[in-house]
Amino acid sequence: MPEPITLKNWIGGRWSESSSGATLERHNPADTRELVARVPASNAADAEAALAAAAAAYPGWKATPAPRRAEILFRAAQLLVERKEAYAATMTREMGKVLEETRGDVQEAVDMLYFMAGEGRRLYGQTTPSELANKVCMTTRAPLGVAALITPWNFPMAIPSWKLAPCLLCGNTAVLKPAEDTPLSAMNFVQTLTDAGLPPGVVNVVFGRGAEAGAPLVTDARSRIVSFTGSTAVGREVGQKAAAGFKHCNLEMGGKNAIIVLDDADLELAVDGCLWGAFGTSGQRCTATSRIILQRGIHDRFLAALEKRARGLKLGNGLAAGVQVGPVVNAKQMQRILDYIAVGQGEGARLVLGGERVTSGDCAHGYFVAPTIFAGVKPKMRIAQEEIFGPVVSLLSCEGLEDAIAIANDVPYGLSSSLYTANVNAAFRALRDLDTGIVYVNAPTIGAEVHLPFGGVRNTGNGHRESGLATLEVYSEWKTMYVDFSGRLQRAQIDTGE
Ligand code: NAD
């Protein structure tokens, strides 16, 4: 077994012990006998030291031209390509996703860095005519200062990159508080930025628990931006605290995503998509497919085909060849998933497949939950309403498109949705009427690309978007500039400009 890695906090370009003296240990969820990492259990004093370092680095970074800042992001992308294989393997050991998917996670960070690097020579504002003569009007994006970035474990490099790349490009400095379960991937990303030439203090990392190391970043007056991805319960608390300080705050939270399959759909394609959407990343994606809404004519054939395919999925350590489904992230999450399975059975849903922890063979020492399918699920059952975040999918039935869209929309979340059909009219109706931030046609609910906005409505988000150019709104503020070269007082709305 590889040696565990011990990290300290990364503050002002130096490794820094936590003043708490306490540490957190991270074990491999596929084999809990393997200790993967030891990190500080940081406290408010550590968070404050990191904020101070970020504040000190801000004037210099803000004064660095955006194209120069972007060049560092570009170099980091190149370095990350070279390190992809090693970082992906570390990520699999740290949080369990299969190697193919952790490679994708690193690749997403590469894509985001390249995308934002390109923006360094754009970051466009507007020039527009003045209503007065001999006067020009223009806008530019200004940075805000220090950003507090709080991230979850399921995309442990991609999500930090979604936040850090635009944050840095716009001229802000940052403190990153990664999830307790995935310190190494976050630090590998920051190490890459550092190796690419990022000056000390521009990005700082504090490890530890949310309430102890994350919460102080949100409330401290030095953070002007708070960007949070995680559960809706924590996001609500973070949002309320950030609002008290009038901070820019984007919240990316839970999902309860549905795929609708109409009778005219390509059955095989729909089964492929649902299998990947429901059981990829062991169902631990905010965009995971947790409901499948089937038109009656296709229902039984679809169920039989999905069950057959899901039964054949190979569980195990994500580093082993041929493994398709890794463990879930930790014991608490596993118990939560098993509790939801019991809830579904109690509610009268029909357990078609799975439903239990797997402890045989390669799964003997990890947190494995069998791919689980419930049929006969009713829209108001808890398993059809609440985010489970595990390899559990609920099948519901519908009469037709209208009915299906009503069921799909009738949940507290609004992140991603999908429709499988061969009917172009149905496709465009669904694109219009599905009330989610992301809608797919003939593709599963997962598969976002970095140059498009990512986020959701209702309990999934607070109106902002990550990725795409939309994310720049989180990390910059518009400055409007007027230059009057008439040499006399001209009054807007009063003088005519003659
Ligand atoms: P979580 O809410 O438990 O933790 C997320 C982060 O917040 C962690 O770094 C944690 O330490 C920190 N945190 C916890 N309490 C805090 C507090 N009081 N103050 C400040 N920070 C605190 O979520 P998780 O279990 O790590 O991730 C799973 C959740 O994330 C799911 O609900 C999933 O849907 C969601 N998610 C959403 C998106 C999206 O873009 N919408 C993407 C990935 C994951």
Spatial distance between the Cα atoms of 436 and 278, rounded to a whole number of angstroms: 18
**Closest by Cα among 148, 150, 155, 147 to 172:** 147
Answer for the pair 190, 176: CB distance below 8 angstroms, yes or no.
yes
User: Predicted confidence band at 299 (pLDDT cuts at 50, 70, 90)?
Assistant: very high
What is the per-residue pLDDT for 496? 75
Residue at token pair 């959407």: 277
386 Cβ below 6 A of ligand 1: no
Mean pLDDT of 199-212: 98
pLDDT tens column, 109-124 = 999 999 999 999 999 9
pLDDT(62) > 90: yes
Count CB-CB contacts under 10 A for residue 364. 10
Instruction: Dig out the tokens for 88 from the structure.
Output: 């992906």
Report strand pairing: 289-295 vs 413-414.
unpaired
Question: What's the CA-to-centroid distance between 235 and ligand 1, angstroms?
Answer: 7
pLDDT(209) > 60: yes
What is the per-residue pLDDT for 2? 84
What is the pTM (predicted TM-score) of this model? 0.97
252 Cβ below 6 A of ligand 1: yes
What is the per-residue pLDDT for 35? 98
Percent of the chain clearing pLDDT 90 (strictly above) = 99
211 Cβ below 6 A of ligand 1: yes
Question: What's the CA-to-centroid distance between 71 and ligand 1, angstroms?
Answer: 31
Residue at token pair 């489970």: 388
Answer for the pair 183, 156: CB distance below 8 angstroms, yes or no.
no
**Closest by Cα among 170, 177, 171 to 149:** 177
User: Predicted confidence band at 467 (pLDDT cuts at 50, 70, 90)?
Assistant: very high
Task: Using the atom order of ligand 1, give the atom closest to the CA of residue 232.
Answer: 32
Answer for the pair 424, 441: CB distance below 8 angstroms, yes or no.
no
Structural domains in the chain plus CATH codes? 5-253+461-480 (3.40.605.10), 257-441 (3.40.309.10)
Instruction: Please tell me the residue having the least CA distance from ligand 1 atom 16.
Output: 210
154 Cβ below 6 A of ligand 1: yes
Residue at token pair 């802000």: 172
pLDDT(497) > 70: no
Q: Could you give the angle at which helices 99-119 and 66-95 cross, rounded to 10 degrees?
A: 170
Instruction: Dig out the tokens for 297 from the structure.
Output: 């004519």
Instruction: Dig out the tokens for 79 from the structure.
Output: 């370095």
pLDDT(24) > 80: yes
Count CB-CB contacts under 10 A for residue 118. 14
238 Cβ below 6 A of ligand 1: yes
Instruction: Please tell me the residue having the least CA distance from ligand 1 atom 28.
Output: 230
Probe ligand 1: pick from 226, 251, 286, max atoms within 8 Å of CB? 286
153 Cβ below 6 A of ligand 1: yes
pLDDT tens column, 402-434 = 999 999 999 999 999 999 999 999 999 999 999
What positions carry a catalytic annotation?
252, 286
Question: What's the CA-to-centroid distance between 149 and ligand 1, angstroms?
Answer: 11
What is the per-residue pLDDT for 442? 98
Question: What's the CA-to-centroid distance between 152 and ligand 1, angstroms?
Answer: 5
What is the per-residue pLDDT for 445? 97
What is the per-residue pLDDT for 498? 56
316 Cβ below 6 A of ligand 1: no
pLDDT tens column, 361-383 = 999 999 999 999 999 999 999 99
pLDDT(397) > 80: yes
Instruction: Please tell me the residue having the least CA distance from ligand 1 atom 13.
Output: 210
pLDDT(14) > 70: yes
Answer for the pair 377, 395: CB distance below 8 angstroms, yes or no.
yes
CA distances from 127 to 140, 396, 410, 483, 489 (A): 9, 52, 44, 11, 22
Question: What's the CA-to-centroid distance between 333 and ligand 1, angstroms?
Answer: 13
Percent of the chain clearing pLDDT 70 (strictly above) = 100
